[in-house]
């Protein structure tokens, strides 16, 4: 089908972002370990690890959401769905996907506005680090774009009668 090829490209990009999220998680884990070690053994905690770790947590979340969607790893309430026929389940999947697309576009719009404002007004964190918020917030825009793309392409595939999970 014509939509399968773009979906495959988005899936590869989502997989790359999920790998980056894993590397960021590894960095955060190692950094916190070092900070704990410095604090308890040398009584010299760092001033940046806690703040940077909390900012990088956004990267983990927003780099991983589209991948979780494409793999079907997001939380679903299925005990009611099991009572319906496959046709009704597909219709419900389309309806919930359409609502999700609307949510994703609102999320994208709001994160874009916030990121652009942070860039334009040069927002920085009110800490010693003075981290520029625009570089922290930009991942929310990137993650929202990937999530929107993944939802739209999956919804088109479901509408066409294909199962996106079968394409994994």
Q: For residue 159, what pLDDT is reported?
A: 82
- Cβ(156)–Cβ(120) below 8 Å: no
Q: For residue 57, what pLDDT is reported?
A: 95
Query: What are the structural domain ranges in the chain?
Result: 4-167
Q: Tokens for 57, please give them.
A: 């947590």
**Distances from the Cα of 47 to the Cαs of 40, 126, 130, in angstroms?**
15, 13, 12
What sign does the CA torsion over 98, 85, 77, 57 have?
A: negative
Long-range contacts of 115-123 (CB under 8 A, 24+ apart): 115/140, 115/141
Residue 108 pLDDT > 90: yes
Residue 96 pLDDT > 90: no
31 φ, ψ (degrees, to nearest 5): -60, -45
> b/e map of 36-73 (b: 16 or more CB within 10 Å)?
eeeeeeeeeeeeebeebbebbebbbebbbbbbbbbeee
- pTM score of the predicted model: 0.85
Query: CA-to-CA distance for 60 and 103, rounded, in angstroms?
Result: 20
CB 24: neighbour CB atoms within 10 A? 19
132 φ, ψ (degrees, to nearest 5): -70, 120
| Maximum average pLDDT range among 12-26, 44-58, 69-83 | 12-26
Q: For residue 93, what pLDDT is reported?
A: 83
């Amino acid at each position: 089908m014509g939509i399968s090829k773009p979906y495959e490209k988005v899936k590869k990009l989502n997989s790359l972002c999920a790998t980056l999220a894993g590397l960021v998680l590894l960095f955060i884990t190692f950094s916190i370990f070092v900070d704990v070690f410095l604090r308890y053994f040398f009584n010299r905690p760092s001033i940046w690890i806690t703040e940077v770790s909390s900012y990088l947590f956004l990267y983990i979340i927003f780099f991983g959401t589209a991948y979780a969607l494409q793999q079907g790893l997001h939380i679903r309430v299925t005990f009611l769905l099991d009572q319906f026929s496959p046709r009704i389940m597909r219709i419900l999947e389309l309806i919930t996907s359409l609502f999700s697309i609307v949510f994703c576009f609102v999320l994208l719009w709001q994160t874009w506005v916030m990121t652009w404002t942070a860039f334009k007004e040069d927002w920085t964190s009110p800490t010693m680090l003075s981290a520029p918020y625009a570089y922290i917030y930009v991942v929310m825009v990137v993650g929202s774009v990937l999530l929107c793309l993944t939802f739209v392409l999956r919804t088109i595939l479901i509408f066409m009668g294909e199962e996106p999970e079968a394409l994994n």
